[in-house]
Amino acid sequence: MHVSVLLNETINNLNIKEDSIYVDLTLGYAGHSREVLKRINKGFLFAFDQDPVAVKYSEQQLKLISNRFQIIKQNFRYFKEELKKHNISKVDGIIFDLGVSSPQLDNPERGFSYHQDARLDMRMDPNNKISAYEVVNNYSYEQLVDIFYRYGEEKYAKAIAKKIVKERTTKPIATTLQLVEIIKMAVPYKYKRDKHPAPKVFQAIRIEVNNELENFEKALIDAIEILNPKGRICVITFHSLEDKICKHIFKQYSEVSNVVKGLPTIPKEFEPQLKIIGKFKPSKTEIENNYRARSATLRVAEKL
């Protein structure tokens, strides 16, 4: 069962008005969307997801509340273009809840989990041409080292990449637990004694397969542009790479440009576009009830 992280904090910080338009860019299993829909009896919700299983489940759940919503099966990278098709150019609130939903992790067939055996997949959109299998078996040593360092911040990136390249010459690396065994063979004993050695590599491959960071950066900049004054963006991240992107973009859009700093009057095009509302972490109780919440961070900004 998927439990939405920082749900109350997100909904409270959206400042929902009953007649406004909201966008949930990461519908998943409708945790946030459900709460938004309950509060907009004259407004409308657009929700995006590329996972057909999540779309089907969430549509049934949201219909129980009202019909004031539209689910769009598409990567959120293209949300602005998709909203244009519905004649929407401005909205009042936007949610990003990044990372992998619990049902994706818990379903071994999706190949996201390093605890259960399955074919290496990790595609959020099953129609995506590249899966984890292609990354592990076809990427060069240099490419593997790069993604393990960059997206996984894995200190044994070189040793793991070297072992993968060696092992795949004998036979393809086809399953998640095959890959886990190779990672275990590549890292020092102390590293795997203290904690599971696979999460960072699995995270790196997942980000590469789904082009997550680039898609997020583009969508976040588009989100700022499409927001109405006083509209809010809530972004929940689960690792430092996503959080850094969010923090950097929020900072960039909430400060006066260096070009005009110190001028007696700031030209309109150089004025800040955002006001930072705050940064929130899950409570101790929430982490006790949902261990996956431990690494979550919510950042909130308002359009000026």
Please say whether the beta carbons of 48 and 25 come within 8 A.
yes
Percent of the chain with pLDDT over 70: 99
DSSP bridge partners of 94 = 23, 233
Supply the angle between the helices 141-152 and 199-210 in degrees, to the nearest 10.
100
- pLDDT (0 to 100) of residue 27: 96
- pLDDT (0 to 100) of residue 281: 98
Q: Is the pLDDT of residue 1 over 90?
A: no
**pLDDT tens-digit map of 37-95:** 999 999 999 999 999 999 999 999 999 999 999 999 999 999 999 999 999 999 999 99
Cα(299)–Cα(261) distance, integer angstroms = 26
- pLDDT (0 to 100) of residue 269: 83
For residue 254, give both structure tokens.
Answer: 């909430």
- pLDDT (0 to 100) of residue 193: 93
Number of H-type helices and E-type strands within the chain: 14, 7
DSSP 8-state class, residue 110:
G
DSSP bridge partners of 9 = none
Please say whether the beta carbons of 37 and 70 come within 8 A.
no
Cα(246)–Cα(250) distance, integer angstroms = 6
**The model's pTM:** 0.92
Structure-model confidence comparison of residues 276 and 263, the more confident one: 276
Cα(26)–Cα(269) distance, integer angstroms = 31
DSSP string, 169-201: HHS---BHHHHHHHHHHHS-HHHHHHS-S-HHH
Strands (E), the chain: 21-24, 44-49, 69-73, 91-97, 227-237, 274-280, 297-303
pLDDT average, residue stretch 3-10: 94
Q: Is the pLDDT of residue 144 over 80?
A: yes
b/e map of 99-120 (b: 16 or more CB within 10 Å)? bbbbbbbeeeebbbbbebebbb
Nearest-CA neighbor of 239 among 218, 219, 212, 274?
Answer: 212
Nearest-CA neighbor of 225 among 44, 94, 99?
Answer: 94
pLDDT average, residue stretch 32-37: 98
- pLDDT (0 to 100) of residue 101: 72
Please say whether the beta carbons of 90 and 23 come within 8 A.
no
Domains and CATH numbers, the chain: 7-103+212-303 (3.40.50.150), 110-210 (1.10.150.170)
**pLDDT tens-digit map of 162-180:** 999 999 999 999 999 999 9
Q: Is the pLDDT of residue 292 over 80?
A: yes
Phi then psi for 142, rounded to 5 degrees?
-65, -40
* Whole-number CA gyration radius for the chain: 21
pLDDT bucket at 3, cuts 50 / 70 / 90: confident
pLDDT average, residue stretch 224-247: 97
Nearest-CA neighbor of 21 among 219, 223, 221, 215?
Answer: 223
pLDDT average, residue stretch 140-164: 98
Best-predicted range by mean pLDDT among 105-109, 121-125, 281-285? 281-285
Longest dimension (CA), the chain: 69
Pure H helices in 113-239: 132-138, 141-152, 157-170, 176-186, 189-194, 199-210, 212-226
